Structure 1
Amino acid sequence: MDVPMKLRKITYYAASGKCSKITRRKKKLKKCVCVLPQTGELEFPRVWEELRNNNQLCDGVVRCSNGTEFRIHRAILSAVSPYFKALFTNSINREREENTEANTNIPTTILEALLDFAYSGRCSITEQNVESLLKFADQYEILGVVQLCCKFLLDEMCPANCLGILQFAGQYFCTKLMERGKLYVRHHFVDLLTDSSEYVNLTITELLDILKDDELNVKSEEIVFEAIKKWVNFLPMKRKIHLLELLKCMRLHNLENKQITKMSKWSLLQKDPECKQYMVEIQQLVRQFLLEETEGGNDNYSFRPRIPYEILFAVGGWSAGSPTNFIEIYDIRADRWLLSTDTDSVPRAYHGLCSLRGLIYMVGGFDGNEYFNTMRCFNPVTHEWSECACMYYPRCYVSVVMHDERIYAMGGYNGRVRMNTVERYNPDKNQWELIAPMLKQRSDASAAVLNSKIYIVGGFNGQEVMCSAEMFDIATNQWSYIPHMNSARSGVSLVAFKNALYAIGGFNGYTRLTTGEKFVPDSDSRWVEITEMMTPRSNFATITMDDYIYIIGGFNGSTTINYVEYYDPESNEWLDASSMNLNRSALSVCVVSGLPNSREYSYLGRLSNGDTAKDIELQEG
């Protein structure tokens, strides 16, 4: 049978509501054992497999559901299964002789796989057998196989099967797998709506649990509205009674009245007087909130921002005539900048920043006196800074990117000369290595990764501002030129977005720029102009979030600024976002996704701690 998506069998079984006798029998919660500890592969004595293969010293028999018999060693099977230990030792009826035989309802292939684990610690798990393996491993208390099955399901989880895996885990009390599954559903909700055939089969309770969650990862509540429509329209006559309850899950703080008006035109909503009135009241609240600019809306659930999946960290920079160690966090769901107390001990500017494996790495920079070859690492979960291996060279005005879990530091200024050297950091070894140098000396340039190649543009070589650009092929360890930009740019930002590179802003040797240009590699095209920014700037920070390119801070030619704007590549237009609390240039930013403590870094988290919106404004101000 053709199975169009991964783990289709699991998805179907879980959605059917079927449940084994052992699952129905268990009423009380048991300790979750579904997640393997962080250890290496289990090592079992090789002689066990040898004895099994040669049928030597066997002292018991296990029969599967069709009567097939397997000769076994009772001690070995008892070691991995409390069920078989109790059966073979007669621990319940001690006056009886020990059993040497066991009859099971396990299919032959599954029993073979379970015995493989008992004798070797290994078990072949596939999409076809994982459901049955987990079912019978749970029933016969072979906890090691339960753990391996859950690890397999976690590794295979995708938007198409996550709901089925989540429901399936619930049948076998795999609470850790359920927790991970719930997070996956919330973090990948947009893809799930497109890819999952199970979404429309959710119960109202399950759907409400998802839509109400603060960590639901949607860039606009319009997505939540479309999700409601999709679920209700699947069985409209039966499900329309839940419409008002579902509408109340939406957070409408980031919607305009025209968007709410458009939603209100849905025919099912128009036919329900309560729903219709609710939308009218929401529009009135939105209008009042915008006109009065009060904080009252934050006490209303409909105005409660969600917790962002991506947390933006803005670190360091040049402000008020000197470097700073100031850190701000941007909550994109609330469009708010929040201060952080996790500052590093040493202020620095003109450094590089990137995130890797949930950690933030700060590379090189300048403190007003010293040019750094150091790299510092910040853990957003533990709130701790630590020192990493030093680079070969000090690098101020350095260009930093991350690719394939390696950090690349390119060019920069060491206090004497502009450099073309490049080095790469391996976090597993905590070690830097020198790789092929660039074709040009560059400081104050900008780099980005696109399609497994590193691109760097512009900069200053000590004599002139540059318009040249080059590309590093990681596979061949070689640099080559790509077409020049239309404008020379130092203090520029290069951003990779979808299939294109965007070089934005900078200094051309005479003035700070508002212009930007776009280049599509592997095509015959040249750099082409895009719509200009609202504010001229150089030495600013750039990041992509929610399919927008965010431009943060910088120097406008006369002063450092805190203005933030973002570019929509689809519409080729610029829009305003909230400004930072501090004017600064030569800062760096990075995004860390899926933090387990993302609430700590969110506006909602600050409100939940008892702070009012006004309190937060005073703290930031």
Structure 2
Amino acid sequence: MAHGSSLVFNELRLKDELCDAVIRVQNEDFHIHRIILSGCSEYFRSLFTRWSHPADQAYQINQVSPEIMRVIVEFAYMGSEEVNQQNVEELYIACDFFKVTGLMDACLRFMREHLSKENCIDIWQLTETFICPTLNVDAFHFILLHFTEVCASSEFLKLSVQQLLELIETDQLLVRDERTVFEAVLRWIDHLPAERTTYISQILPKVRLALMTPKYFLANVRTNKMLLCDTECQNTVKTAETLLDDGIVSLPGIYHPLARPRLPSSIIFAIGGRVKTGFTVATNAIEAYDICTDIWVKITSTEEAPRSQQGAVFLNGSVYCVGGHYELQVFSSVRRFDLATHTWHHVAPMKTRRCCVGITTLNGLIYAIGGYDGQSRISTAECYDPGTDQWKKITSMHERRSHASCTAFLGKLYICGGFSGENFLSSAEYYSPETNQWTLIAPMSTSRCGLGVVALEEHIYAVGGNNEDTYMSSVEAYNPLTNTWQSVTPMLSRRKGFGVAVVDGRLFAIGGFDGFTVISSVELYDPVIDHWLPASSMRIPRSDLSCCVISGLTNMADFAAPRYSNYDPPSGYTDLPI
């Protein structure tokens, strides 16, 4: 209906002129034109044409409240979508009943945009009853990703046993500690113990008991009175205890349903690099590190050409690979890997060719800082807006830097070290997007080229690298509040040109060159204990690679180590085809 006509018909309705029917809801009457409601609702069209006598003028409606009927009538006349947190669920149910598809779609959009820890279970249950597969899946994944907070809500206690089982048996359930799942189950049962205790033997095998710490298991699982009273539960507990005693350090242990790791919340991508020293040995290899299994997975795409010394970042469900070089060519091109569709796309190139470039994200933008343009080390910087697919220049740094590293922290971009073309640099500076200015900060204690820089907890860490004298394993941490650096425990290995990433509050150093050879080794730093520990090595030794961390995807399983729910791991699991 044209907007002008809408205004006219609505004005006639409000004045009760030319109206030919009355919709009566409780004690409130809505004077309407049958042709208008018939135009937006299959239900009212049938009511007026097939389910009533032509002489009828008043229709009693008992399925909704007056407030909801008012919203439906105003939508029919004006197309107005008066959807809010208070009425959306009741309105959606009414629109489903009356077949007001346009307003029902508005309700679905609103619920999808406003999914929260407080309403996700209600929406999940609602879209199961009033079938809407896409929103139902969205709500389900939202619960999985925010399970720790959701399971503490009162809404969690409303789950049916079938819904609870569906949640806790999936590998995609995101919890840092399996005891969160166990305690959520106990809380759910304790809400209605007389009714729900009977389900415990059905629920317990879905909890990954063998992923708990032995201390917690002994204190809270093996001695639980409810479990002690159930023979099936005791068998489950004994099996889990055996797996814990074995340490589940080798497969097929981790494929057992009680020990199978859930999918990680974040996965590290290691992209490209050099498999040997020199210009002609770049690779297109991409590996993904699953922190929950300590396994690297090969996900190389044959569509991509080999490239090293590029930058890589994760933003809005895609990995962006920026610049880099192959043989003697330095690139300005940018490629976007869509993680949902596994497809590569070219996006707008940078204004300047850059390899050995600092790359990071801040406030939804990608920043490319410094680097080498094929002729000289550069101080220029630019930022990319995915919304407009455009790069724009920002203020240049104080120093020309290639082989530096950068990170975002508290609304600013920090870049440290590098090589100016003449000197190895110890200097560091930060960029403020608000002022478009760079500010020098206290220099590092030593010059570092090919280092890694990441923000972790309340500090910025500068890791490894080399200078004119040596390849380094040393690490120092910068405190922005005091503008000071302090040394922390060095890495286990010397390395430059390596990848760095932060996952679950720990810093990973990946691959690189140790002064003698290209390496595949990986180690992680825990700032709580100020200690480095070894992790599984990459399958391919390489330096000058790029790393980024992906998270929040509904298809994380595509990039994680395979999970086998039937306790039947394949032979040759160490070389799984991906």
Same fold? TM cut 0.5: yes
With 426-435 and 207-216 compared, the bigger mean Cα shift is at 426-435
In structure 2, the partner of 1:318 is 274
Mark the CA change 1:107 to 1:263 in structure 2 (over 3 Å): closer, same or farther.
closer
Structure 2-normalised TM-score?
A: 0.91
In structure 2, the partner of 1:529 is 487
Q: Superposed, which structure 2 residues align to 1:424-435 within 5 Å?
A: 424-435=383-394
Mark the CA change 1:407 to 1:246 in structure 2 (over 3 Å): closer, same or farther.
same
- How far is 1:235 from its partner? 5.1
**What percent of counterpart residues are identical?**
33
Matched AA of 2:399: K
In structure 1, the partner of 2:327 is 368
The answer on 1:506 being equivalent to 2:465 is yes
Does structure 2 conserve the Cα–Cα contact (< 8 Å) formed by 1:562 and 1:579? yes
In structure 1, the partner of 2:310 is 351
The answer on 1:451 being equivalent to 2:407 is no
Mark the CA change 1:98 to 1:586 in structure 2 (over 3 Å): closer, same or farther.
farther
Mark the CA change 1:536 to 1:609 in structure 2 (over 3 Å): closer, same or farther.
farther
In structure 2, the partner of 1:78 is 38
The answer on 1:261 being equivalent to 2:218 is yes
- How far is 1:608 from its partner? 7.9
With 277-286 and 264-273 compared, the bigger mean Cα shift is at 264-273
Does structure 2 conserve the Cα–Cα contact (< 8 Å) formed by 1:80 and 1:143? yes
In structure 2, the partner of 1:158 is 116
Secondary structure, in 3 states, of the residue corresponding to 2:401? Answer: coil
Does structure 2 conserve the Cα–Cα contact (< 8 Å) formed by 1:62 and 1:104? no
- How far is 1:616 from its partner? 4.0
Distance 1:577 1:254 in 2: 18
Distance 2:417 2:542 in 1: 22
In structure 1, the partner of 2:29 is 69
Matched AA of 1:457: C
Deviations 1:109-155 (A, max 9, x none): 32222122222322122222223322322222212222222222222
Mark the CA change 1:427 to 1:99 in structure 2 (over 3 Å): closer, same or farther.
farther
Distance 1:610 1:200 in 2: 31
In structure 2, the partner of 1:13 is none
Distance 2:415 2:5 in 1: 58
With 541-550 and 574-583 compared, the bigger mean Cα shift is at 541-550
Mark the CA change 1:67 to 1:237 in structure 2 (over 3 Å): closer, same or farther.
closer
Matched AA of 1:304: R
Matched AA of 1:219: R
Matched AA of 2:451: V
With 459-468 and 348-357 compared, the bigger mean Cα shift is at 459-468
Matched AA of 1:246: I
Mark the CA change 1:511 to 1:280 in structure 2 (over 3 Å): closer, same or farther.
farther
Match 1:212 to one of 165, 169, 192: 169
Mark the CA change 1:123 to 1:188 in structure 2 (over 3 Å): closer, same or farther.
same
In structure 1, the partner of 2:293 is 334
Distance 2:35 2:411 in 1: 53
- How far is 1:437 from its partner? 1.1
In structure 2, the partner of 1:26 is none
Distance 2:446 2:222 in 1: 48
Mark the CA change 1:100 to 1:201 in structure 2 (over 3 Å): closer, same or farther.
closer
In structure 2, the partner of 1:250 is 207
Q: Superposed, which structure 2 residues align to 1:478-489 within 5 Å?
A: 478-489=437-448
In structure 2, the partner of 1:180 is 138
The answer on 1:132 being equivalent to 2:75 is no
Match 1:224 to one of 167, 177, 181: 181
Matched AA of 1:543: A
- How far is 1:397 from its partner? 0.6
In structure 2, the partner of 1:91 is 50
Q: Which runs of 5+ in 1 are unaligned?
A: 1-42
Does structure 2 conserve the Cα–Cα contact (< 8 Å) formed by 1:351 and 1:366? yes
Match 2:149 to one of 191, 196, 205: 191
- How far is 1:595 from its partner? 3.2
- How far is 1:545 from its partner? 1.9
In structure 2, the partner of 1:442 is 401
In structure 2, the partner of 1:415 is 374
Matched AA of 1:424: C
- How far is 1:551 from its partner? 1.9
Distance 2:78 2:478 in 1: 55
With 407-416 and 166-175 compared, the bigger mean Cα shift is at 166-175
More strand by share: 2
**How many residues end up aligned between the 2 structures?**
571
Matched AA of 1:588: S
With 346-355 and 254-263 compared, the bigger mean Cα shift is at 254-263
Match 1:584 to one of 511, 522, 542: 542
Match 2:429 to one of 470, 485, 498: 470
The answer on 1:305 being equivalent to 2:261 is yes
Does structure 2 conserve the Cα–Cα contact (< 8 Å) formed by 1:400 and 1:407? yes
- How far is 1:513 from its partner? 2.3
Deviations 1:479-513 (A, max 9, x none): 11222223322212221234432222222432222
Does structure 1 conserve the Cα–Cα contact (< 8 Å) formed by 2:256 and 2:565? no
Distance 2:391 2:107 in 1: 38
Distance 1:520 1:122 in 2: 53
- How far is 1:100 from its partner? 4.5
Does structure 2 conserve the Cα–Cα contact (< 8 Å) formed by 1:44 and 1:119? no
Mark the CA change 1:609 to 1:417 in structure 2 (over 3 Å): closer, same or farther.
farther
In structure 1, the partner of 2:450 is 491
Deviations 1:540-576 (A, max 9, x none): 1122222322221111221111112222233333233
In structure 1, the partner of 2:526 is 568
